Copies of this chain bind each other. A is one copy, B any other.
Amino acid sequence: MATRAAARSLLVDIHTHTYLPRYAALLRARSTAPRILSRPKQGSKDVLEERLVILDNEPSGGRPVGPQYWDREQKLAFMDKHGIDVSVVSTANPWLDFLPPDTASTLARELNDDLESYCATSPTFTATAATSHQMKRLYALGLLPLVPSVPIASVLSAIDQIATLPHLRGVIVGTRGLGKGLDDAALEPVWQKLAANSLVVFIHPHYGVGGADAWGERDNGHVLPLALGFPFETTTAITRLILAGVLDRHPSLKLLLAHSGGTLPQLSSRLASCITHDPAVAARLQHDARWYLGRLWFDAVCYGPEELEFVASAIGRASRYAESDKIKPGDQTLVAAERKDGSKRLLWGTDHPFFPPIGEGAQDEKWMSVMENLEAVDAVGPWGAEEKDGVRGGNAIELFGLDK
């Protein structure tokens, strides 16, 4: 492929998962969640289907899984179908969370090597006519052995490894850290080393905030844990990081939030107000809560143009809150400029292989979940071609250094 995108901007998917063969084999060998189990397919007793169960008591006995979860050729076929030039692939939840420390450390190293190979042997293309730089179609985010009782040296060693693997450009992490959450002081050297190596940290939910008590007795399938519990979890994790001063202490740390930051944007002014009214908390932070949103990156996986515009506005207004916690409504020219500016920290993604088409025969169609997120970018009023190109790919190329 010589000049894949000579005449246009690239489409880059930064929220796309894989269960590598080595990881899928591990899940198949387990008898408790997370696991992959085989069972007779509904309605056809003699045909087995594999189902992925990632949580205890998961509704509907987990979800059906197939080669799109582990086969690299399926990932590339999915990319071709939707015009995606480059994917920054990450291992899906729950990563290594359920493993003992030594196994987690060994497997992190092996899976990071697998990921490097997954990318390094992927097709190459020349990104634009203006440069001779050869890009790969696949890059990846590595894994850290973030589990209880792991020696921090093992985590730091995994970062060292990732920094030497040329196609790994960051890490994906859940929200539990070493068991006490991401605001655990024990993680300070981890943030420091990730920042020092310019590795992007993709914060992704798994457990949800909520649970059976919150969701109640009705059968609502996966809707409540996925639509609400996941974004609540991401919101909680990043808020705890802000409150712990991690963003103050590590100004060059690059944090990327799944699902457009969950609900942090909509709650950011309320968060600022609650902090102001809790002086002991306010005193230890350098900035108004809204300021920190300008320090973060957000994926554009929120399925609507109004949501995207709002997230961009919450990012774009951040610098107004550098010095003070007073409200500073801008004039409308400023507001429009802020929404363009905020777009620079939004990066498009698909959440593949989750949210596949529904129903028989739908497999040949383009995925609605993908097209909604693509059409949403195009429909954001204050954005021009430059901002839309940035969200679709340019911002990812810059953040992950894909042109380097």
Please give the residue numbers on chain A whose beta carbons come within 8 Å of chain B beta carbons, in ascending order.
Answer: 180-181, 183, 209-210, 214-224, 226-228, 231-233, 235-236, 239-240, 243-244, 259-260, 263, 265-281, 290, 302-307, 309-310, 313-314, 317, 327, 329-330, 332, 335, 355-356, 358-359, 368-369, 372, 375-376, 378-379, 381
Contact partner of A278 (CB less than 8 A), chosen from B223, B263, B269, B314, is B223
Q: A222-B274, A232-B232 are in contact. List 7 more A-B contacts (CB 8 A).
A: A210-B236, A215-B240, A218-B240, A223-B274, A227-B274, A228-B235, A277-B356
- Nearest Cβ in chain B — how far from A363, in angstroms? 14
Q: Collect the chain B residues with CB atoms within 8 Å of residue A224's CB.
A: 236, 239-240, 243
A216-B183 in contact (CB<8A): yes
A217: which B residues are within 8 A, CB to CB?
180-181
| Chain B contacts for A272, CB-based, 8 A | 303
Q: List 12 A-B contacts (CB under 8 A).
A: A214-B233, A223-B243, A227-B274, A228-B267, A235-B263, A263-B263, A268-B304, A270-B302, A270-B303, A273-B303, A273-B355, A327-B376
Count of identical protomers in the assembly: 2
Among candidates B231, B317, B332, B358, residue contacting A276 with C-beta atoms closer than 8 Å: B358
Residue of B nearest to A219 (CB): B280
Residues of B within 8 A of A278 (CB): 220-223
Which of B240, B266, B307 touches A216 (beta carbons < 8 Å)? B240
Residue of B nearest to A381 (CB): B332
A148 vs B244: C-alpha distance when bound (angstroms) = 39
Q: Is the CB of A381 within 8 A of B266?
A: no
